[in-house]
Amino acid sequence: MTDTATSEVAAETEETRPLAAVEDQGAGPAELEARGVSAWFGSHKVLDRVSLTMPAGRVTALIGPSGCGKSTFLRTLNRMHELVSGAAFAGEVLLDGADLYAPGRRLTQARRDIGMVFQKPNPFPAMSIYDNVVAGLRLTGVKVGRSTKDALVEECLTRAGLWQEVRDRLRRPGGALSGGQQQRLCIARALAVRPRVLLMDEPCSALDPTSTRRVEETIHSLSQEVTVVIVTHNMQQAARVSDQCAFFLAEQGVPGGIVEYGPTDAMFHSPQDQRTADYVNGRFG
């Protein structure tokens, strides 16, 4: 076979790769477990020996007042905490039993297994909607053909609840979308690399009620396919979207930690700690 023919066969094979061939990250959602997680910024300890199991295929909400370490804890779960100058970490984070912080564990793999959606929507503003979705593939070195990309874009935008709204303007800039649409675009972008866990740091805090409802609907639809961990200050949202809650608190001079965690219904209606009852009922925080 000539070099030209070989190239054509290779191109055809790549162009017709099935969607499932896009770097399968595993067999669906994964259990995430934190064991004795502590975190520092310089000499300031912000978390002290936090342990929490986040079940596969469920939504876990992290609740608590500002400054109690919820977002820091969230960022330890995919090793984003270590990007901060002077930050330090102790403990273990296990993804289906494998420690993400173990020597030799690749950082890029951790970031692909555990995606992140931030408080403020952050699409690449000058990049098209289409290119925003597939940007993660390039960043992680995954190469697929055009037809595979097309299918992936449709699938991820559908899973993020955005396909019907943007299907006829995929080549327009992602930055031209509304705030709620941008957030769902970021969710689609995170899903494109096949994460097994999706972390969400107050994803609706900057959104109007209609956009918030749509993002919450997206979370519901995703929870059977990916494990979701969400930080929220909205108690009604935590009650609506989560299967279990963990209540964080940092009292005077004490680093943040978990006061109580369990099924969401129990946390809201029959908490075991008076501090939890006071917080979920709006008596402080």
Return the CATH number at 49.
3.40.50.300
Please state, in angstroms and rounded to a whole number, the distance separating the CA atoms of residues 145 and 240: 39
CA-closest candidate to residue 111, choices 139, 78, 135: 78
Please state, in angstroms and rounded to a whole number, the distance separating the CA atoms of residues 272 and 54: 20
Burial call 214-241: b when 16+ CB within 10 Å, e when fewer: bbbebbeebbeebbbbbbbebbebbbbb
pLDDT per residue, tens digit, the chain (285 aa), is 444 333 333 333 333 333 454 545 456 899 999 999 999 999 999 999 999 999 999 999 999 999 999 999 999 999 989 888 899 999 999 999 999 999 888 887 888 899 999 998 889 988 999 999 999 787 766 777 888 899 999 999 999 999 999 999 999 999 999 999 999 999 999 999 889 999 999 999 889 899 899 999 999 988 888 999 999 999 999 999 999 999 999 988 899 999 999 999 999 999 999 999 999 988 876
113: in domain: yes
Please state, in angstroms and rounded to a whole number, the distance separating the CA atoms of residues 89 and 47: 9
CA-closest candidate to residue 40, choices 82, 103, 79, 1: 82
58: in domain: yes
Parent domain of 196: 31-280
Domain count along the chain: 1
3: in domain: no
